[in-house]
Amino acid sequence: MSSAAVTTTQPASATRPEEPAAGPPARVRSFSGRALGLLVAAAILLLVALLSIGVGARSIPLDRVWDLVWHADGSDDALVIHDLRIPRTLLGLLVGAALGAAGALMQGLTRNPLADPGLLGVNAGAATAVVIAIALLDTTDLMTYVWFAFLGAGLASLLVYALGSAGRSGATPVRLALAGTAVTFALMSFVYGFTILNPRVFDQYRHWQVGALSGHDASLTAAIAPFIGAGLVLALLLARPLNALALGDDAGRALGARIGRTRLLGALGITLLCGGATAAAGPIAFVGLTVPHVARALVGPDQRWVLPYSMVLAPILLLGADVLGRVVNRPGEVEVGIVTAVIGAPVFIAIVRRARIAQL
């Protein structure tokens, strides 16, 4: 009986050393699959960017567009390509990447899949600063709007973090969300009240508030690029600590994550990303909210992949919406902030219906 037991257990034990060998190839396939998906998304983004340069209110044959991109001949078509469409496309790439990364960073930082980049009061702070700039300086200069909006976004984020971190419990996700909501409502009440009482301010503010990529030159992209670039790098560096935070504060500390520093750097990254994007293009809804859900559906909850995917998928959505806005209302156009709201709302509802939010 014992010998039979021995003979039956030997084959099982003999196969055990081979089982770990099957693990690494599975991980390699998973990594290669995600990397391939990211390359495919980058290729789609390149195609959408080329479409953004080639499509507009002025009809230009695609072969001529391609030739004018590399050889400007001083014609009206060349001016449209180099002075309008290329700066617009570059701004869309930059703003889209910023909004996607800010949304993923916000949702990972607060452990709230419904969190939006505006949750920390960034959009409200930028809007308040723009209204103040219009009222006090009587300015119509877009670059002035940008710097005031960036300053307002930063100050609002600092205020939210100070309120959310007060007390013994520190800056917990719930406290940050509550502080951001309170600051947002307070600032937007000021904005609405001031614009209602001052029609001149409202008339100028509403053009910025809609959210648009049009009407900007290359100097605007150059002005916000360093801030958004720093925010993107910071977001990628926070991927591992965010993975630890997803398990909870206690588990995160046990894994070596510095909770307070991660949240502070995360708030700084959100301010740089969402502040720069909002300052340049106005508050654009649903991009930062929807795209991280799509990224998690494709690659899972690992922030090391969610963040890069969000940085690529969000510009696809933003530029695609911008191109659609130019086509549906020729010779005029529909601003991209309106198109993203129309596209993003049903997409987000579909994601919520098909996925269990609590498991994201």
User: What's the CA angle centered on 114, arms 168 and 292, to 5 degrees?
Assistant: 115
Q: Give the pLDDT score at 249.
A: 66
- Total number of residues shown for the chain: 360
Q: What residues does each domain of the chain span? A: 34-50+60-355
Other residues' Cβ atoms within 10 Å of the Cβ of residue 114 = 14
Q: Give the pLDDT score at 351.
A: 66
Alpha helices by DSSP H, the chain = 2-15, 23-54, 62-70, 76-79, 86-110, 122-137, 142-165, 173-197, 199-210, 218-237, 239-245, 249-254, 259-281, 287-299, 303-327, 336-354
Residues 336 and 91: beta-carbon distance below 8 Å:
no
Q: Token match 């013994």: residue?
A: 168
Please tell me the distance from the alpha carbon of residue 352 to that of residue 286, in angstroms, as a whole number.
13
Between helix 86-110 and helix 287-299 the angle, nearest 10°, is 70
pTM of this structure: 0.82
Other residues' Cβ atoms within 10 Å of the Cβ of residue 249 = 18
Residues 273 and 95: beta-carbon distance below 8 Å:
no
Cα dihedral 197, 198, 203, 206, rounded to 10, equals -50
Residues 154 and 306: beta-carbon distance below 8 Å:
no
- Per-residue pLDDT 10s for the chain (360 aa) are 444 444 444 444 444 444 444 444 333 347 788 899 999 999 999 999 999 998 877 777 777 888 888 877 777 778 888 888 899 999 999 999 999 999 999 888 887 777 777 777 888 888 898 888 888 877 767 777 778 888 888 888 888 888 877 777 666 667 777 888 899 899 999 888 888 888 888 887 887 777 888 877 788 888 889 989 999 999 999 998 888 877 776 676 776 677 778 888 888 898 889 888 888 888 888 898 889 988 998 998 899 999 999 999 999 999 999 999 888 877 778 888 888 888 877 877 776 676 554 444
Q: Give the pLDDT score at 43.
A: 96
Q: Give the pLDDT score at 333.
A: 82
Question: What sign for the dihedral angle of Cα 103, 214, 134, 137?
Answer: positive
Tokens of 163: 């309120």
The answer for residues whose C-beta is within 8 angstroms of residue 269's C-beta and 6 or more apart is 101, 102, 105, 231, 234, 235, 238
Please tell me the distance from the alpha carbon of residue 174 to that of residue 165, in angstroms, as a whole number.
11
Q: Token match 């930063």: residue?
A: 154
Look up the CATH number of domain 34-50+60-355. 1.10.3470.10
Q: Give the pLDDT score at 355.
A: 56
